[in-house]
Amino acid sequence: MKIIRTKTYEEMSEKAYDVVKAVIDSKENPVINTTTGASYDGMFENLVKGINNDEVDIEKVFMMNLDEFIAPRESSFSVYSYMHQKFYDQIKKQPREIGLLDGSLSNFDEEIARYNKILRDNKRDLQILGLGVNAHLGANEPGTPFDSRLFLADSDDSTINSTMLYYKVTRDEAPEQMLTLGLADMMEAEQILVTASGTRKAEAVKATLEGPITEDCPASILQKHPNVVFIIDEAAGSLLTKY
């Protein structure tokens, strides 16, 4: 695992952009599966600039997402809304293909089957992940089996609170379930990128990097992957003693 420590969130975002750009530059038809949220706001801003300045060839990229809330697609907090508002609506050229989960459907079994076929047919060159305050990855909360595959997940209270904080929604408005790639799905990517910033993530970072590999800490499974880039700012890495 490659650990990159930065002083600030802005530097972390620049380093994350560099990883994404390197994958796009080095692959003929790259497949990138990404996440959303505060950890990657800065990275997406840099990616938008890179595309619009003709520094990144997004037209050869298949962009996918790893999860989606169970809610109408147009909800302010949906992955669909995030990706369009912060990325697709901001770039002058579009990816060759876009793959988004749909959490507004009534039949989740059909949606899971549809997306599983996309995953089978498109080997991911890069899996982008955020780290939850309880060390979840996607919606794989503590206790989720390491062999989990794309499924309908219930969110822990800490995850719901993070959603409320970031999207400025009330407890009644906040979604409680997500369709999410399982941990086994994530581990199949050729490379994994993880970022974490702020003191809220410090305990999760320490457990992920220096703790035992256990389902109580979902992100600890990353210790088993041969090609992980983990980028953290000073606050997120403040409890580490080995790195």
Domain ranges across the chain = 2-237
* Lowest model confidence (mean pLDDT) among 36-50, 139-153, 172-186, 209-223: 172-186
- What pLDDT was estimated at residue 161? 85
C-alpha of 204 from chain center: 15
Residue with structure tokens 């210790």? Answer: 223
Catalytic residue among 111, 141, 185, 233: 141
- What pLDDT was estimated at residue 115? 97
Catalytic residue among 67, 68, 125, 156: 67
Tokens linked to 204: 């999760």
* Distance in angstroms (rounded) separating the CA atoms of residues 230 and 57: 24
* Distance in angstroms (rounded) separating the CA atoms of residues 9 and 98: 28
Write the pLDDT tens digit of every residue in 56-111: 999 999 999 999 999 999 999 999 999 999 999 999 999 999 999 999 998 999 99
What average pLDDT does range 188-194 have in this prediction?
98
What is the H or E stretch that residue 31 is in? Answer: strand 31-34
The verdict on whether 67 is a catalytic residue reads: yes
Catalytic residue among 33, 46, 65, 134: 134
* Lowest model confidence (mean pLDDT) among 134-138, 173-177, 198-202, 220-224: 173-177
Nearest CA to 1 out of 155, 223, 173, 201 is that of 223
The verdict on whether 107 is a catalytic residue reads: no
DSSP 108-153: HHHHHHHHHHHHHHS--SEEEEE--TT--BTTB-TT--TT--SEEE
How many other C-beta atoms are found inside a 10 Å radius of the C-beta of residue 59? 10
CATH for 2-237, options being 3.30.450.20, 3.40.50.1360, 1.10.645.10, 3.40.50.300: 3.40.50.1360
Catalytic residue among 68, 111, 125, 136: 136
